[in-house]
Chain A
Amino acid sequence: MRVPFQWLCELAGLSAPVDEVARRLTNAGFEVAAVHHAGEHWERVVVGQVVRIDPHPNADRLNLPTVTTGEAELQVVCGAWNFEMGDKIAFAHSGARLWNAYATEPRLEELKPTKIRGVLSRGMLCSPRELGLGDDHQGILILDPSAPVGRPLIEVLGDPVLEFELKANRPDALSVLGVAREAAALFGTEVHSPIPDPRPSAGALGMTVDLRIHDPALCARYSAAFVTGVSVTESPSWLRTRLEQAGMRPINTIVDATNYVMLELGQPLHAFDWDTIRGGAIGVRPARPGERLTTLDGQDRALTADTLCIVDAEGPVALAGVMGGQTTEVTSATTTVLLESATFDPVSIRRAAQRLTLRSEASRRFEKGLPPELTELALRRCVQLIESIGAGRGEFLSADAWPAPSAPQPVTLAFDRIERLTGLAYDRAEVRRALAALAFTLDDSGGELRVTPPFWRRDVTTPADVVEEVARLLGYDRIPNTLPMGRVTGVMPGEVDPRDDDLRDVMAGLGFCECVTYALTNETRMARLIPPDLLDADPEAPLGGAAAWDELRRSAMNEAGRALAERLLPLHRAPLRLRNHLSSDESTLRLTGLSTMLETLRANRRHADRDLMLFDYQPIFLRREDDLPDEPILLTAVLGARLSSGRWDETRTVDLHVVRGIVDELLTRAGVDPLAMGCQNVRHPTFAPGQAAGVTRADRLLAAYGQIAPQVAAAFDLDEPAWALLVDVEAVRAFDTDTAQFQPWSDYPAARRDLAVVVDADTPQADVLDTIHRAGRPLLASVRLFDEYRGEQIPPNKRSLAYTLSYAAPNRTLTDKEADRSHNKVTRALQHRLGAELRGPSGHGDTQ
């Protein structure tokens, strides 16, 4: 809300500098977002007068006013039409700094002489927005006729305006008087209320209105006042200036007076042309089926039963608290006005305004819950204002319906409650003073504090509210700094698993950079993970739908591939979609982080040709029936085609074994026993055939990795092979062996034996290794693969695997004989169980 400083000072009886006022109000919770020094940029803006208006030769929408500044006559090009010959206007010379009226972020720009459609413009006629006087940019600012031509504008209009950040809890803060009350309490001054004392006037004009509130829950109070002999003209300049400073556009005397009072007191008012009200009656009720109303903005609206209406004897004439109707609008022909001042139900108004997307200054105030006491006061002030500007004569209160008056309830609290909550022992006298300054009445004769808020502070209902009032007014800066004492807490539900940190650290240690990605994506982006020829490109269901997935699972996946799809890449699941979204790219919660990570890989590929190693450690979102979605955390890593390796510029090409090395280290470090891990080929359409694998433990898939299928990589616009690694963190946790247990090793020299085993090409290495382990017990201390060979020296359907084996005993040096005996067991087992042949005595023999 924009509060002109002069207005505030008048009501608060203040004479402090604006910055000081802004600072203390901010500290007390009335946050001043900005102080607009209207005029601080107006060095080259003066009062001008329009002396001639010519048409623009090349553009119908523009005109060419000539303006005198007293010293010179200057022709400008102008797009506004709301002025006439002789009008006084704000004229900006070139070089003036004006707010750009079209920029989304407010910014000042220097005005330069420009040709517009072929005609030179030697200055500008300014709109309120260009001058920083509000949002209005519908036309230029017309100054009061008394403004002296040539005078700097700052001398005519300069007055700082405080812009307050709106808070939801204080309806009174949406008024100049409310802010003034607060400022007066802070500065210890006296509030000068603009509300006149009542005068006995009901019926003086000899007119009556029949008021009916159908449901007091929707309208607590409805007050009305007649004004006759109305003259609907232009308001005086002081009034128009204040409205403009506060960001409202002046319209005519009656509307301006109601808006002025709304700004001043916070009570929205509405003026009906009484002669258009049928049957001399006004009622408040929800709309009935089939009722319609053409509102002030010219829209014919069908009304729903939850829309609260103002009706006359025949039907709706206004949307309560939201917008008036066209037929009852005050016009220059109006002679008698009925002023409405009512208290509507905040929820009803808020819903109607949202539904109709008609949120206005008025609805914003009703939404916060206005006190019914205010209706009558606002009418008095408004009638008095109308009379003072000669726009009519009226009654302060002509009719009033207030079915169930209620006063704010007192709040009772023990005095030490203030210290107990704030940690600061206040003096009783200063507490009394603070509450009195805020117009609370206080009775502490019984020891306890019995505090009754003034009618405009219905937000104060609990002891904590009272404590806040005291602490706020006496200053939060007095509250000391202490640390909480107290009892030790137990384990809390949902504690963050410290192993999350460990996994991230391990990934960073393995060379990956962590990404934090958006959870929002869309189905088309995720569907890129499936080659397009496998999914019917149905724009309605880019991820294919259940039938397509049944087929995919049957034809394009093996069992491990289905396990991958189930746990790590659940693209067949119906995703959670948003009801409202910022862009269709971000309309859906992700089922996988992989598509986003491949996009990230692609983005980084533009500037890097190696060491593209990225990971993401965040949840995916899986729909559940009648419950919150499941949000399992997945580790999703991607790799580019090349990693630095060897000398400075050397790289190695990523292949399945490179990724497997990473997976092994990661899972081992995460606590999975490496000897208990199994490994299977994975066939899944996201991955290249034969280039993907899954690591299992006890038949549960812990991780899957492989090369992204070339078609998929192409869909992500990747120009080289990409690799991915997906880890089911929850599954890994299930096999975490908890605290590692120390395993002793032998300090006695080990006997090394090398071994080259020729097996069928399709015999898994894991089987060879397993055979070695089993047969080598108990003296076999370690086995290491050091070579794989296929080629001329062995038959074509065979391959040779070469291992180094070490044998050792825990308590003595093995003799050669013992080592040989163990080794022979190994070689025999390989021959018998796998039909392996042993390749000639390896050159590495028995070196130590």
Chain B
Amino acid sequence: MNTRIDELLAAAQAELAQANSDGELEAWRVAHLGRRSSLTLALRSIGQLPPEQRRAMGQAANAARRTLEADLDARRQTLRRRTAHAHVDVTMPGYPVRLGRLHPLTLTLRDIRRVFAPLGFRAVSGPEVEWDRYNFELLNIPAHHPARDMWDTFHVQQDARPGDLLLRTHTSPVQARVMEQVPPPVRVIVPGKVYRYENRDASHEAEFMQVEGLAVDERITMADLRGTLTYFVRAMFGPDRDLRIRASYFPFTEPSAEAEMSCHACNGSGCPVCGGSGWIEILGAGMVHPKVLADVGYDPDTYQGFAFGMGVERIAMLKYGVTDIRSFYRNDLRFLRQFG
């Protein structure tokens, strides 16, 4: 009978040498050490043997079982070592997992909002189709004022006309909308789409994004404007940026200013990005015109503040090195997938 145990043992060992995976080891375990294995059956049938054989048989079967268990462990170790050295090429690409991307203009708008939020500016929005009154008149640009030439305007067809409808040419109308509705202090930024009746080229769009800023209280100064904008360009383009302002003209600000930042590409020494000057025009700004304040019901002798407006595409172009403004609106996946 020991011969039979020996045979079982030899067969099981031979089979074990062929097992090459955890699955095969498990199958082998069920076959040779499981409840229905020959060895187990042999042990269970000991009771049918003559008593004098039972002990030897039991010992032999148990010894065989221990041997096989030890062999299984050994084999498992071997396999594990071998797997560790096996040729899984870690340079193979993973199976595709595709996250989407946010549009670079969305990302830039978020960056801008993130810069201004800690200064207390809340983001608000307003209508893209606007009354002439908000887009122009309440901004100190009466009908037939030559300043209207600064904004080529799309006009909307109307049946009845309680006022002239147009596509807003800037986000500035929201200044008036906000101030009409809440008393000072006011601190907002206004992101949104604006429209210009203007032929497109690499640096001009007929539809584009602007961010307007407005801060009005009793003592908000031009120095605050300059400081806020300096803080902004450093947050967006790095701590080494400088900001300078020079006199300009906008009908809704007085004094008015044009802000330039030292070129982030060359640090001010001159390069193609800044046209060799070392400075990049980045936005228009100024102190809110007393007439604009008075027209929304703020007392211009008590309240004052600043406003600024920037083109989001321009910021994004500088930040991401995009050279054609129209790329933002083509929505080519080869473009969109590069950001975010």
Contact = CB atoms under 8 A, between A and B. Distances in A.
Interface of A: 26-29, 31, 167-170, 346-347, 350-351, 367-368, 420-424, 462-465, 467-468, 471-472, 476-477, 479-496, 501, 504-505, 507-520, 576-582, 586, 589, 600, 603-604, 607-608, 611-615, 618-619, 621, 625-629, 631, 643-648
Contacts of B340: 508
B220 A484 contact: yes
A480 B174 CA distance: 28
Given A494-B174, A582-B206, A504 B102 contact: yes
A483 B155 contact: no
B128 A631 contact: yes
* Interface pairs A-B: 6 shortest CB-CB: A423-B223, A29-B247, A423-B221, A468-B255, A508-B100, A644-B96
Contacts of A600: 331
A703 to B, nearest CB: 18
Given A29-B247, A582-B206, A604-B333, A516 B106 contact: yes
10 contacts: A29-B247, A421-B304, A483-B119, A493-B124, A495-B125, A496-B191, A504-B102, A603-B331, A628-B130, A629-B129
B129 A589 contact: yes
Given A514-B101, A579-B157, A628-B130, A168 B146 contact: yes
Contacts of B291: 462
A28 B223 contact: no
B218 A486 contact: yes
Contacts of A489: 120, 122, 185-188
B14 interface: no
Given A424-B223, A488-B120, A464 B157 contact: no
A646 B119 CA distance: 48
Contact of A516 (B99, B187, B328, B333): B328
Interface stretch (B1-9, B47-55, B225-233): B225-233
A516 B332 CA distance: 11
Nearest to B198: A582
Nearest to A576: B156
B256 interface: yes
A576 B336 contact: no
Nearest to B149: A168
A462 B290 contact: yes
B207 A519 contact: yes
Given A420-B304, A626-B160, A346 B146 contact: yes
A20 to B, nearest CB: 14
Interface stretch (B36-44, B77-85, B176-184): B176-184
B197 A582 contact: yes
Interface string B64-106: 0000000000000000000000000000010110111111011
Nearest to A486: B217
Given A519-B128, A611-B98, A422 B222 contact: yes
A648 B247 contact: no
Contacts, number: 282
B217 A481 contact: no
Contacts of A501: 110
Contacts of B222: 421-424, 471, 476, 479
Given A368-B146, A468-B255, A494 B100 contact: no
Given A504-B102, A626-B162, A518 B329 contact: yes
B147 A648 contact: no
Interface string B105-132: 1100010010000011011111111110
A577 B157 contact: yes
Contacts of B191: 496
Contacts of A169: 147, 249, 251
B120 A476 contact: no
Contacts of A488: 120, 185
Given A483-B228, A514-B103, A495 B154 contact: no
Interface of B: 93, 95-96, 98-103, 105-106, 110, 113, 119-120, 122-131, 143-147, 149-150, 154-157, 160, 162, 165, 167, 174, 177-178, 181-182, 185-188, 191, 193, 195, 197-200, 206-207, 209, 215, 217-224, 226-228, 230-231, 243-249, 251, 254-258, 287, 289-291, 304, 328-334, 336-337, 340
B249 A581 contact: no
A645 B328 CA distance: 29
> Which of A424, A486, A515, A619 has most chain B Cβ within 10 Å?
A486
A350 B144 contact: yes
B336 A514 contact: yes
A420 B254 CA distance: 14
A517 B110 contact: no
A516 B149 CA distance: 28
Given A513-B333, A604-B333, A644 B157 contact: no
A350 B146 contact: yes
Contacts of B110: 501
Contact of B255 (A467, A491, A578, A621): A467
> Which of A604, A615, A647 has most chain B Cβ within 10 Å?
A604
Contacts of A589: 129, 156, 167
Contact of A476 (B143, B206, B245, B254): B245
Contacts of A509: 99-100
Contact of B125 (A420, A494, A577): A494
Nearest to A515: B331
Given A492-B186, A508-B101, A580 B224 contact: no
> Which of A493, A608, A645 has most chain B Cβ within 10 Å?
A493
B178 A577 contact: no
Contacts of A580: 154-155, 197
B100 A613 contact: yes
Contacts of A513: 100-101, 103, 333, 336-337
Contacts of A481: 223, 226-227, 230, 243
B129 A472 contact: no
A519 B192 CA distance: 12
Contacts of B177: 493-494
Contacts of B244: 476-477
A515 B124 contact: no
Contacts of B248: 29, 31, 167
A772 B217 CA distance: 62
A381 B77 CA distance: 108
Given A420-B304, A607-B334, A510 B100 contact: yes
Contacts of B155: 578-580
